[in-house]
Chains A and B, each alone.
Chain A
Amino acid sequence: MAELEISHLGKSFGAFEALKDITLTIQSGEFICLLGGSGCGKTTLLRLVAGLEDHNKGDILLGGKDLTAIPCHKRNIGMVFQSLALFPHLNVGDNIGYGLNLRGESKAVVRKEVDRLLGMIGLDGLADRQVSALSGGQRQRVAIARALALSPDIFLMDEPFSALDAALRDQMQIEVKRIQRALGVTTIFVTHDQREAMALADRIVIMQDGKIEQAGPPDVLYAQPQTRYVAEFIGTNNIFDLTFTNEGVLFGETNLGKAKGKNEGVLGTHSVAVRPEAITLTKASKTGLIGTLTTQRRLGAVIEREIDVNGQTVFQSAFAGQGDGFAEGDTVAISWGPDAAWVIPA
């Protein structure tokens, strides 16, 4: 395994610039999720690493070797496609053993490796079955096994679970994570589902408009978003435009008191992110932020609320049993702890 270095990578389709100056280093054995909305460039980046598209500028180095000079079929890349792309004319065993057969491995070696991979994905004894006779989850597993059969240097997955139902998707996420950990293969996983990215990745790369907005471990992205886009994209967030002064923090005309904790000493107007679970609701008082509870939904163990504060909707969530006793239409006061407010740098 080796480190993958992407530097100043650019890709255009005619006048459309799909990737703009992408620079990213992926450590050996790391599990990276490329996360972003449609058209953000995540799949294009994956396809450039795979060699399925030609780049316009920049470099892709694998262990110091220029990957862009190597054609796709010689890159030793394992890739799982969104459509899975299993070969319909081959059975399960032949699909998994396709690459090994192509390399000229003996039948015995191919059979042994296919059986090993089938065991790893929990499909023992299904080598002779047609892929059309498999369930959605089984097909996913076969696609993963086929991509891993050649012991690839990099394992790429392009939204492979997008067609699965929620339960099967959760199950496959656990499977993929287990296999990736067991093999230690460097993995790049493309998804538009932030929940999936949070569950899988060692590091999430959030992309927008062909650029990397922020890259980092899931908990860091969640707690310390570097841009407003990331703050709004990862989970639900309350973004307040606050003015920090020596007299206190102002939300419009309301003085919320002096900045404390990590925000002490901050001056000027900033966008501040506060997660719904960090917001505390109390009966209305004469000070602080006052609003009207407009919506209250109980979702099992969690209660989600929306409070209208001077025209801005504030989201609040709490475990059921904690902070109960509010009804829609109530006038409430909202507050948060000194370290719960994250001043977005950009």
Chain B
Amino acid sequence: MISERAGTTAISTVTFIVLAVFFVVPLALMIIVSFYKSDPMAFYEVAFVWDNYAKFFSSFYYTVSVRSLYTAVLGAVVVVAITFPTVLAISELSRRWQLFWIILLLSLMCLSEVIIGFAWLILMSESVGLPRFLEWIGLWTNPRSLSPSFGAMLIGLVYLGFSIVALILYPQAARRDRSIEEAALTLGTPPMLVFFKVVLPAFRTSLISVTLTMFVYLLGVFVMPTMLGRPKDWTMTVIISDKALGDANLPLGAALAVIMLIVTALVLLVSVLATRRAEP
């Protein structure tokens, strides 16, 4: 008979092997390749050079990385700002309607990014989309397509993140103690202020956590920037893909990926430390 201790050890070992195979090994390979020399004919040549990292400090890559961080931060903040009140509103509905919205949100997550991207392209197109509708109701006299643009790309990113954020926040929103909001009312809080005085602070930790999650997720989104954004809106993910696959420069793509990984880790670390320090 297997002892409890032996069972725990076995589970830990399997977990470690899975993590190593699916996370540590690819990461290690990427780090190793980032030091190789570029060879357009064979992707790379085995060597140990810093050239790929040095290229990052050119204005182009520096600008792209700053833009990527800005886009991811803005997208994360916007998606959480839109989704949180929506989730609270859903949690106030009857059980039947709550179930309906949750199933709908889950269904949205099944859609391919490409399908979503095309849907938004159509919605923002000059011929049949929102511009034509605005012209039809007399709000836009000379309509033009709304994509590609930074705004269109941001909408695509927010759409992608909406379901994820909603499903992360919904359980806490549904289970929250409503009497806290009622207590605030009986203590003289105007209804309009209850959200800011007690609901928002009660969700602070979750909101910071889900915003950071969204930041990381949006930083890695590839399809929306390419479909809905202009080349000057493209994020580092697109550039890395472009370099690694388009230009067959795998070492440069790997180096850019490693740098973005380090920057992302630093941003997350600083955010977590700042949040902990600010906690009551």
Residues 90-132 of chain A: 1 if any B CB is under 8 Å from the residue's CB, otherwise 0?
1100000011001100000000000000000000000000100
Which parts of A49-85 form the interface with B (CB within 8 Å)?
50-52, 71-79, 81-83, 85
Q: Is B138 in contact with chain A by the CB < 8 A criterion?
A: no
A72 touches B185 (CB 8 A): yes
A52 touches B182 (CB 8 A): yes
A117 to chain B, nearest CB (A): 14
A195 to chain B, nearest CB (A): 25
- Residues on A with beta carbons closer than 8 Å to the beta carbon of B280: 89-91, 130
Bound Cα distance from A85 to B198, whole angstroms: 11
B177 touches A83 (CB 8 A): yes
B183 touches A85 (CB 8 A): yes
B185 touches A52 (CB 8 A): yes
- Residues on B with beta carbons closer than 8 Å to the beta carbon of A79: 182-183, 186
Bound Cα distance from A234 to B48, whole angstroms: 88
Q: How many A-B residue pairs have CB under 8 A?
A: 72
B177 touches A102 (CB 8 A): no
Given the contacts A85-B177, A89-B280, A73 and B201 also touching, CB distance less than 8 Å: no
B188 touches A73 (CB 8 A): yes
- Residues on B with beta carbons closer than 8 Å to the beta carbon of A74: 188
Q: Is B151 in contact with chain A by the CB < 8 A criterion?
A: no
A102 touches B185 (CB 8 A): no
| Chain A, residue nearest B190 (CB) | A73
Q: Is B230 in contact with chain A by the CB < 8 A criterion?
A: no
Q: Is B179 in contact with chain A by the CB < 8 A criterion?
A: yes
Bound Cα distance from A326 to B177, whole angstroms: 54
B139 to chain A, nearest CB (A): 38
- Residues on B with beta carbons closer than 8 Å to the beta carbon of A147: 186-187
B179 touches A103 (CB 8 A): no
Q: Is B55 in contact with chain A by the CB < 8 A criterion?
A: no
Residues 173-204 of chain B: 1 if any A CB is under 8 Å from the residue's CB, otherwise 0?
00001011011111111110000011001101
Residues 29-63 of chain A: 1 if any B CB is under 8 Å from the residue's CB, otherwise 0?
00000000000000000000011100000000000
Given the contacts A88-B202, A130-B280, A99 and B187 also touching, CB distance less than 8 Å: yes
Bound Cα distance from A87 to B194, whole angstroms: 12
- Residues on A with beta carbons closer than 8 Å to the beta carbon of B187: 73, 98-99, 102, 146-147, 150
Bound Cα distance from A50 to B179, whole angstroms: 12
B186 touches A73 (CB 8 A): yes
A73 touches B179 (CB 8 A): no
Given the contacts A52-B182, A81-B182, A102 and B201 also touching, CB distance less than 8 Å: no
Which of B187, B201, B202 gathers most chain A CB within 10 Å? B187
Bound Cα distance from A321 to B6, whole angstroms: 64
B188 contact from A83, A103, A156, Cβ within 8 A? A103
- Residues on B with beta carbons closer than 8 Å to the beta carbon of A75: 186
Bound Cα distance from A98 to B177, whole angstroms: 18
Bound Cα distance from A88 to B177, whole angstroms: 11
A77 touches B186 (CB 8 A): yes
B191 touches A73 (CB 8 A): yes
A87 contact from B188, B190, B201, Cβ within 8 A? B201
Bound Cα distance from A115 to B141, whole angstroms: 66
- Residues on B with beta carbons closer than 8 Å to the beta carbon of A98: 184, 187
Bound Cα distance from A307 to B151, whole angstroms: 83
- Residues on B with beta carbons closer than 8 Å to the beta carbon of A90: 201, 280
A215 to chain B, nearest CB (A): 25
| Chain B, residue nearest A87 (CB) | B198
Which parts of A147-170 form the interface with B (CB within 8 Å)?
147, 150, 156
Bound Cα distance from A3 to B186, whole angstroms: 19
B277 to chain A, nearest CB (A): 15
Bound Cα distance from A77 to B183, whole angstroms: 10
The chain B residues found within 8 Å of chain A, CB to CB, are 177, 179-180, 182-191, 197-198, 201-202, 204, 280
Besides A87-B198, A98-B184, 5 new A-B residue pairs in contact (Cβ under 8 A), listed by A number: A73-B190, A73-B191, A83-B177, A91-B280, A102-B189
**15 pairs, CB–CB < 8 Å, chain A vs chain B:** A50-B182, A72-B185, A73-B188, A73-B190, A79-B183, A82-B179, A85-B182, A86-B180, A87-B180, A89-B202, A90-B201, A90-B280, A98-B184, A98-B187, A156-B186
- What 5 A-B pairs come out closest when comparing CB atoms? A85-B183, A89-B201, A99-B187, A85-B179, A81-B179
